[in-house]
Structure formats: structure tokens, C-alpha cells
Amino acid sequence: MATTRILEWCGRLYIWLLLAFLYLPIIIMALMSFNVSPFYQLPFEWTTEWYASLWLNDQLISATWNSIEIAIITTVISTVLGSAASLALYRHEFRGKKALQALLFPPIAIPWLITGTAMLIFFFGVGIGRGLFAILLGHVALALPYVIVVVSARLQTFAPELEEAARSLGANQWQVTSRVTLPWIMPGVIAGGLFAFAVSFDQFVVSYFLSTPGQTTLPVEIYAAIRKGFTPEINAVSTIIIVVSMALMLLTARSFKFGGEK
Amino acid sequence: MAGQVVTGSRSGLRSALPLLLPAYLWLTVAIFLPLSAMVFFSFMTELPLSGRAWSFTLDNYATFFSQGLYWTLLLASLRLGLEVTLWCVVIGYPAAYVLAKVFRGRSREAIFLLVILPFWSNGLVRIFSWAMVLREGGILDTALNAVLPFKINIDLMYSYPAVIIGLVHSYVPYMVLTCYLTLQAIDDSLIEAGRSLGASRLQMLKRVIIPLSMPGLVAGAALIFVPVVGSFMEPRILGGRTGTFYGTVIEDQFVAVFNWPLGAALSFILLAVVLVILALASPVLKRVA
Amino acid sequence: MAGVQVANLSRSFGAHKALDDVSIDFADGGFYALLGPSGSGKTTLLRQIAGFDFPDSGRIAIGGESVERVPVEKRRIGMVFQNYALFPNMSVADNVAFGLSVRGEAKATIASEVQRALDLVQLGKLGARRPHQLSGGQRQRVALARAIVTKPRVLLLDEPLGALDKALRVDMQIELKRIQREIGITTIFVTHDQEEALTMSDRIGILRDGRLVQEGPPEEIYDKPKSEFAATFLGDANILRGETTGTGIRLADGTAIAAGAGATLAAGAKASCAVRPERIRIGTDSGTSDPNANMLRGQISKRIFAGNNSTYFVDRDGQTIKVIVQNTGVEKLAEGQKVVLRWSPESTVLIAASQDMD
């Protein structure tokens, strides 16, 4: 029994060490964004001047707006299209359904480097070119499989008899969907939407290959800045991003339990 | 039961199509056609856009196979993938085990979420955050010098270990996630049964727990290995001059050298490697999903 | 209200014939049980009548109107599902109101109709509850109220009592029957529970492998089964096989068994006789009180005591015959004892040897 206690204690300690490994760099980065020294020198002196100077950086601000706009449009489009596809995959049985479901896997699993360069080549070839529209096209495609997977998981808990019961009571297809099915899968749809927003808002690789100097997103802008040299301004904007994206995922987890208890 | 299959097979694809088509059309235009275009492109001599004459060629592939550089870089990337994956197993599996078998109830849920959370936050920013820690005069350097009696110079920045640390930090939550899912599915009574039969902890681990959680390990490994082999941003930021890998060379072809056909060929070779790995892992991946 | 006619209905799924030329006339206001083992096609038939699936061939008419290509939402039927299928996101009252509401009825009408339906199933006060706050029996009643509030032409029940425990099931059988009488709705009921079918319905259809084996009032099927399958599936029966003599059969050892009912068959054909276990008298004396009675000798291999009755398994010439005897406290036979079995020809049904027994 004693050994068990000791082992469990070691286990807990280990988890806290892992959490330290995962969070310390982020916390340090955030702290440095409030430090006076532009060369990250200690001792620490509090300032918010780096955040203030962000407001004067037009390039960064326009990239931020682009990111937000693209993320919102991506969320709307991929949530609608993805939920519709999930419903179709749930309701109907047909040959090739397995293949269609398998096709969702490559966009998630293939490295974004490959997807991004392929998009660049193709969009150039067909005349779409680079820019915000191309980035949007790419983001929706990357977000769609996540939405479909999340909504489908929620649909798995739905009883098909509910749709049949509604139909037997005289409800047409639209009434069945809007009054019975959608209310049930709503948590999944919301979670899928938040996922889509996060995928788009945090997306760097694909945006990187598809952006042009004037038409770019925040992560791409940050990457360019990092490669020029580290500044506390980057820390400031990075801190904002990480807070936003973590908050988003916490929201997602609340609306849709992934993993967790049996 | 039989009934639902029935309704389905009758209504079938035709009634599913209006709902399916928009999503899959989008995926086709933005994923599948581009991937095909990339293959097509990799056999060209020139960009067909700039009005220059082009023809089909195998030169791009010949370049890959004849120039030792690309081979070496691909091998370096594969090695990087392997090392990062191994570290993720070593760090992530015990964490998943503790999470699944030691923690209970709400604290388990909360900690699970804390481990997974960074994974879904901005990867670029997290890589950048390591620069704050690893650079000379950074936190690690300062902290160690404050504790140790002698002067040491920690400057891991722009080195191979820095790249490894950054990538492990990025991907270890994935391993925790997949292993946790399979580990928590193992019934505790199974472990008790084993112990009651006289098996030691180590024997139980080796003969019951690890085999049963193998799908999670393999799934996590595949899902980490594949993106790491294709990584370029992480080596660029943390590796500096030592951070030249297969991914960074592909990036160069598209954003610096502008040799797109060669870039496409290199991308396609990487895709082939990735697909082989995913195909090998797919039976296991399906079981986990 | 309306009767339902099903004529020559067939439906295949791939190579599997789920329904094979089934014709049944469901009388207006009747309570009809579709009985069969799983995979017999009874649920498929119900779903065809409901309109969840369409037949390959054949006709379905509700109230004389052909509906075989009409989708479920336009058929004006009411259905109760095995798991009740109550909408979890709606209150009890909203569940019951659903059918009226999708039809665009006025709010006031809906409210009063819903209350009436809930009163009918004795749940008048639980309208505000959510389905998950109800017991199994209460959910069952809500499902029923929801199905009948729209005044459907026919009520379809898919093993509605299957999820309830035994005691509750008996209560609900009585309740269901009461409500059905009260509104006089044509009711079609799928079950695999023969007791339920016998006690509740005024007609039974027995299905097997997609075909209608026999249909009629419960007593008729019980007393005059037309096949070995019908005899053994609805109630318990001993089957004796041999060659027909025209009015009975002759067993392999030459014993003649007389039958008082059943098919008329040409002498010499293979045939069998069915006898219900409770119709057989068991005794030790060979004295003949009734010279016409069928008689067999055997040895008791096993006795199972079940309170008000006992079941004896009697071995005879390689066959085991089951006999059920009321425990009157007078006679008690021991295992291993040699006994004589007697039963009247009127309790014996002659059945043609058919392909349905293999």
C-alpha cells in the first residue's frame, strides 16, 4: 500500500512537471511582453508600452482584421456545409459512403506544408492566385473535416427513431430537421464552429503560402517579424493570440466534451 | 434496426447529395485538385503561367535522386520525426497513464483539458515562446546561473536540441490524448485481476497495459511523425542556420528560389512517404477512431 | 378511423426476402397483433404500413385509399416506438403537441387537445416534465398520447411494451386495451411475445421468413394451427409425425392417432398431429374409460414443479412428450415411473407435412 501511495504521489508530481513544461515558456513570453527592456533583460520592470505600440502598427492591425474576418467567414461556411454533410452521412446509406468518410482524413493528416504548397500551385494555375480569397478557400477546406467529425460524433448519440417519430406525426423534412435534429446536435455544431474558428485563426502554414504582402493574416505577419528579429511587440501580440485561442478552446470544451469521462 | 438500413439504401446517394455536395465540392477544389495539380506540376520543366515554353520532364525527380543533398535532408527530417516521436512517447505515455489511472473525477477532467489546451492554441506563438527560454541570457541561462555556483553558458538557441524541444512541446499533448483514450478504456478490474493472480506492477505493464494501449501509441506516433517530417517553421525559428531540413528546402523552392516544379516534386515525394506511413498505421488509426 | 388492406406485399433487401406476398385485411377498429420471431418480417410489414419504407410490389390501402407510395408524414398514422422516441429537448406537453403544431393548428386548440390526450393516458398533471424525469411506464403513456392526439387513421405499435418489466407490462396491456376501446382506433401491434398477442388482440397474424403463416382470431389459431410452426410458436404443442390415415395419422410403430380437427388429407401422405400439453391426461392405470381416446405409453423422465401446475416430460419411442397438469394435490407421479397418456381426438389437430418444418 505504501509503495502505491508513493507511486501515485510521483505520478502527480510528474503531471505537474509536464504542465510546467507546457506552460512555462508561454508564461515567460507573456511576462516579457510586460517588461520594459526591449532586449528582454532582467530585472523585470512593468510596462504596457509594447501593447500600446501595437495600436500604431498599421500592418499588424490590418493583418489582425484579416485574420478575424477570415476566421468568422470560415466558421460560418464550414459549419453550415459541414453540418449538412454530417447529416447526409448520418441519414443515408449508400455505396461509397465509407470512402467519402475516409476522404475527410487526408486534409487533417497530410502536413500543411504539402497542402499549402499544393494550393498555391493549383490556385495559381486556375487564376485564383494568392490573397485573402485564396486563404479563405484553404481555411474552409481545412476546417470542414473537423466540423464534420465533431458534428458526426454528436449525431452518433442521436436516436434515429426520433426523426421517424417526428415524420410519423406529420412533420416534413424541414420540420424534422429544424425542430428535432438540429436542437439535438446544436452543442456539436457550436463546438464544430469554435473548432473551425480556431483552425482558421491559428492557421499559419497554409496562409503563409497563400498570402501576398498586402493581403496577409496575423500569424504570417508575426512569422515575418520573428525572422527579422525578436521584439517585445511580438511578445505582446503573441500573448493576445494565445489568450484568445486558449479561451476559444475552453469554450469549445465546455460546449462539447471530448475525451474525458467514459 | 434492420429497418434503418432499409430506408437508407432506398433513399441512398441521390437524396444525400444535396447536403453532401457543397462540402465535398469545396474539399475537391481546395484539397484534392491542388494535390493532383501538384503531381502534374512536378513533371514540368517550367511554370506554364509566365508564358514561357514548358514540356514534360522527369528532371525534377532526377534532381532529387541524383543530388545527395535532398536525400540527406529527407533522411534528416525522417530522423527528426523519429526522435521527436520517441521523446513524445517517453514523456507522453506515462503522463497519459497517470492521468487515466491515478487522477479521478473532476480533477482528471481539468488536468486533461490543461494538457490538451496548448495543442489547440497557436503553434507558431508557442514555438516563438521557446526562444525566450532558450536564448543566451534567456530564462534558462539566467535561472541556472543563479542556482549553480559556477558560471555556465546555456545557449541552446539555434541548435538541433532547440528544434527537438520545440517540436516535442508542440506535439506531446497529441500523444497524451491518444494514449489517454485507450488507457482509460482499460477496466481497472482487469489490473486488479492481474495483480490478484500474482503479477507484479512491471509484469502487468508489460503484458497487459502496454499491449492494450498499443493502438493509442501507434495512432499518436503516426499523428506526430507525419507533421514533424513536414515541419519547416519550427526549425526556421529555433534552428537558425542548423535548422535546414526537408521542409525548409520545400519552403525555399516556393518562396525564395521560385523553382515550383522542383518544389512540387519534393512535396510529392514527401506526400508519398507520408501516405505510406499513414497506410501502415491506418488499421490501428481506424480502431482508435 | 379506417381499416387497412395489405395485398400481395413484397419487399426484398438484396437477396433477402423480408416480405413475400403478404396479404392481410385489418378490420376497422380492430386490434391486430403481428406475431413472429425476429427476422420474420413483422417489423418490416409495420414500417411498410407506416410509410418509412416502400414495397417492391403489392398494395397498401388505408380507409380504401392507396398509400403505398405516400411518405409517412402524409399517411396520417400514429406510431409508438419500441424505445418511445420521445423528443428529449421538449417537455411532455410539447412532445404531445408536436404533431398538431407541425400541422399549424391554433395554439388554443393544441393546448386543449394535448390536455385531453394526457388525461386519457392519466398523465394530466405531468405536462411540464421532461421525458428523462419520467418512469418507463409514464414514457410509454406519453408516447401513446403523442401518437393518438393527431387523430390518426391507424395506430401502429412496435413492440411497445418490450422495454417494461413484467408487472408493469401487464398493467400497460390492460391500459392500452382500454384506451384503444375508448377511441376505437384500428390498431396494429408488433410483438414477439405470444402471451401478449393472445391476451390483447382480436386477430393475430403469424409471420415467418417474410410470409404470413396463418391469421385469425386467437382461439382459432390456438385450437386449429395449420402448420407445425403455428402450433409451436403460439403456445406449446407436442408434434407427432407419421403417415396420414385420412382422419388421423399412424406413427412409425403402428399406433393410430385420431384427429378431430385440421386438414383433410389423402391417405398415405406424410403428416403430423399437434396436441397441447394441457389437454393430455397422465395416469398409471391402463384401464380404458374412453375407448375413443388417443393413448400412448411412456416413462416420466423429468418433472418440473411450478406452483399451480407441474410439467412432466414423458419419453416414448425416442420422443419426449410434454404434459402440463394442474396441481390438485391428488396425484403425484415420480420420475422414472411408467405412465399412460390419453387425450381426446377433438384436442388433436391434423397438420399436413409442410416445408416450413425442417
Contacts of A28 in chain B (CB under 8 A): 129, 132-133, 139
Sequence-distant (≥ 6) Cβ neighbours of residue C10 within 8 angstroms: C17, C19, C20, C21, C22, C55, C56, C57, C58
- How many pairs of residues across A and C have Cβ atoms under 8 Å apart? 64
CA of A102: which chain B residue's CA is closest? B286
ipTM: 0.88
Shared domain check, C64 and C209: yes
Which chains neighbour A (Cβ–Cβ under 8 Å, 3 or more pairs)?
Answer: B, C
Between residues 168 and 187 of chain A, which touch chain B (CB distance below 8 Å)? none
Residues of B in contact with C69 (CB under 8 A): none
| CATH value at residue B96 | 1.10.3720.10
pLDDT in tens, C153-169: 999 999 888 778 888 88
Residues 92-121 in A contacting C (C-alpha not used; CB under 8 Å): none
Partner residue facing C44 (CB), from B3, B9, B10 = B3
In a domain, B21, yes or no: no
The amino acid that residue C1 corresponds to is M
Gyration radius from chain A CA atoms: 23
**Are C208 and C300 contained in the same domain?**
no
Residue C35 confidence (pLDDT) above 90: yes
Closest-CA residue of chain C to A182: C89
Containing structural domain, residue A130: 57-255
162-181 of A, contacting C, C-beta below 8 A: 162, 164-172, 175, 179-180
Q: How confident is the model over A141-151, as a mean pLDDT?
A: 92
Return the half-sphere exposure (C-beta side, CA atoms, 13 A cut-off) of residue C306: 11
Q: Is residue B53 included in any domain, yes or no?
A: no
User: Does some domain include residue C66?
Assistant: yes
Say whether pLDDT at C30 is over 80: yes
pLDDT above 50: residue C355:
no
Please give the pLDDT value at position C57.
Answer: 94
User: What is the domain-level CATH number for residue C266?
Assistant: 2.40.50.100
pTM of the model: 0.79
Check CB contact of A153 with chain B, cutoff 8 Å: no
How far C204 CA lies from chain A's nearest CA (Å)?
Answer: 24
In a domain, B12, yes or no: no
Contacts of A71 (CB under 8 A, 6+ apart): A139, A197, A200, A201
Q: How buried is A101 (Cβ within 10 angstroms: 0-12 exposed, 13-18 middle, 19+ buried)?
A: middle
Distance CA(A215)–CA(A132), nearest Å, equals 6
In a domain, C264, yes or no: yes
Number of domains in chain A: 1
> Rounded to whole angstroms, how far apart are CA atoms C68 and C49?
8
Query: What's the N-to-C CA distance of chain B in angstroms?
Result: 23
Asked whether residue A30 is domain-assigned, the answer is no
Rounded mean pLDDT of A97-126?
89
Judge contact between C333 and C313, C-beta under 8 A: no
Which chains would you list as touching C if contact means 3+ CB atom pairs under 8 Å?
A: A, B
How close C270 gets to chain A, by Cα (Å)? 47
Q: Is B88 on the interface with A (CB under 8 A)?
A: no
Measured CA to CA, the distance from residue A194 to residue A191 in angstroms comes to 5
Whether C203 has its CB under 8 Å from any CB of chain B: the answer is no
Q: What is the mean pLDDT of chain C?
A: 88
**Under a CB-based contact definition with an 8 Å cutoff, are residues C203 and C32 in contact?**
yes
The reply to whether residue C73 touches residue A172, judged by beta carbons under 8 angstroms, is yes
Whether C358 shows a pLDDT value over 60: the answer reads: no
Domain that holds residue C311: 234-352
Selecting from B2, B5, B10 the residue whose C-beta is nearest the C-beta of C54 gives B10
Contact present, C66 and C9 (Cβ < 8 Å): no
> Which residues constitute the domain of residue B192?
63-288
Q: Does A227 touch chain B if contact means CB atoms closer than 8 Å?
A: yes
Q: How many C-beta atoms lie closer than 10 Å to residue A11's C-beta?
A: 17
| Cis omega (within 30 of 0) for bond into B34 | no
What CATH number should be reported for the domain holding residue C71? Answer: 3.40.50.300
Instruction: Tell me: do C246 and C160 sit in the same domain.
Output: no
Per-residue pLDDT of chain B (289 residues; tens, 9 = 90+): 333 333 434 457 778 888 999 999 999 999 999 999 998 888 888 776 666 677 788 888 888 888 888 989 999 999 999 999 999 999 999 999 999 888 888 888 888 888 888 877 788 898 999 888 887 767 777 777 777 777 777 777 888 999 999 999 999 998 998 899 889 888 888 888 887 887 888 888 888 888 888 888 998 898 899 899 999 999 999 988 888 899 999 999 998 888 888 999 999 999 998 888 888 887 776 665 5
C213 and C186 in a single domain? The answer is: yes
* Per-residue pLDDT tens over the stretch C304-333: 988 888 899 999 888 899 999 988 877 678
> C-alpha cell of C274?
399437434
| Residue C329, C-beta contacts closer than 8 angstroms, at least 6 positions apart | none
Structural domain count of chain B: 1
Q: Write down the pLDDT at residue A259.
A: 38
Is B45 inside any structural domain?
Answer: no
Residue C294 covered by a domain: yes
Instruction: Give A239→chain C minimum CA distance, Å.
Output: 40
Consecutive H or E run containing C257: strand C256-258
Same domain flag for C172 and C34 = yes
pLDDT at C333: 83
How far apart (Å, rounded) are the C-alpha atoms in residues A152 and A158?
10
Q: Which residue intervals of C62-217 are DSSP H helices?
A: 92-102, 107-120, 136-148, 166-183, 194-200
Contact C44 B6 (CB under 8 A): yes
E strands, C276-318, in order? 281-283, 294-305, 309-316
Q: pLDDT per residue over C229-264, tens digit each?
A: 999 888 889 999 888 887 888 888 888 888 887 667
- Cβ-Cβ contacts under 8 Å for C260 (sequence gap 6 or more): C344, C345, C346, C347, C348
> Which pLDDT band holds residue A256 (cuts at 50, 70, 90)?
low
From B66's Cα to the closest Cα of chain A, the distance in A is 22
> How many CA atoms lie within 13 Å of C72's alpha carbon, on the beta-carbon side?
26
Do residues C62 and C4 lie in contact, with contact meaning Cβ atoms separated by under 8 Å?
yes
CA quadruple B107, B113, B116, B120: dihedral, nearest 10: -170
Q: Which residue, A204, A107, A186, A110, is CA-closest to A150?
A: A186
Q: Is C229 on the interface with A (CB under 8 A)?
A: no
Inside any domain, residue A95: yes
For residue B7, the model assigns a pLDDT of 42
- The single residue listed with the C-alpha cell 397418456 is C341
Q: Are residues C108 and C204 in the same domain?
A: yes
Q: Print burial letters for A105-136: b (CB count within 10 Å at least 16), e (below 16).
A: bbbebbbbbbbbbbbbbbbbbeebebebebbb
Among the listed ranges A111-125, B186-200, C143-157, C207-221, which one has the minimum average pLDDT value? B186-200
Decide if B52 is inside a domain.
Answer: no
pLDDT digits (tens, 9 = 90+) for A1-13: 578 888 889 999 9
Number of domains in chain C: 2
A113 touches B at CB < 8 Å: yes
- For position C8, what pLDDT does the model report? 94
Q: Does B109 contact chain A (CB < 8 Å)?
A: yes
CATH of the domain at A75: 1.10.3720.10
| The three grid cell numbers given for residue B14, joined into one nine-digit string | 441521390
End-to-end CA distance of chain C: 42
Per-residue pLDDT, B289? 56
Q: Is residue A113 part of a domain?
A: yes
Name residues 16-35 of chain C within 8 A of B (Cβ). 18
Reading the block at residue C356, the C-alpha cell is 416450413
Q: Are residues C247 and C314 in the same domain?
A: yes
- C275 with C160, same domain? no
Rounded CA separation B136/B142 (Å)? 9
